[in-house]
């Protein structure tokens, strides 16, 4: 009957979409990653840190990390670098403000 068909149609629309349903998920998730990398490479990190952080966070949320693990890893790495002070020496980090005392 018509109500059974309508019920089946509504069941199909209630499930959240997957990437197969949305062919734009990958390109849309890659766009903020490329923009963030471009901003970081241009040397405007200090002025645009908030924008870069937001772009990378959106990328991580949208990107299918199982299909693109290298991009997901790079986005997480770039995010982690944003949370470190610019003057931190990776060989001798002193987060407490001291000189390693």
Model pLDDT, residue 12: 47
Helix (H) or strand (E) holding 72: helix 69-82
The mean per-residue pLDDT over the stretch 7-33 comes to 68
Report pLDDT digits (tens) over 28-65.
999 999 999 999 888 766 778 889 999 999 999 999 99
86, 40 contact by CB (below 8 A): no
Q: Supply the angle between the helices 25-42 and 45-62 in degrees, to the nearest 10.
A: 160
Model pLDDT, residue 63: 92
């Amino acid at each position: 009957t018509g109500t059974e068909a309508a019920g089946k149609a509504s069941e199909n629309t209630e499930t959240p979409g997957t990437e197969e349903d949305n062919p734009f998920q990958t390109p849309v998730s890659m766009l903020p990653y490329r923009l963030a990398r471009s901003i970081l490479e241009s040397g405007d990190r200090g002025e645009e840190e908030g924008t870069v952080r937001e772009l990378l966070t959106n990328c991580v949320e949208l990107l299918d990390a199982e299909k693109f693990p290298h991009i997901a890893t790079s986005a997480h790495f770039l995010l982690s670098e944003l949370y470190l002070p610019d003057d931190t020496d990776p060989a001798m980090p002193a987060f407490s403000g001291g000189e390693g005392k």
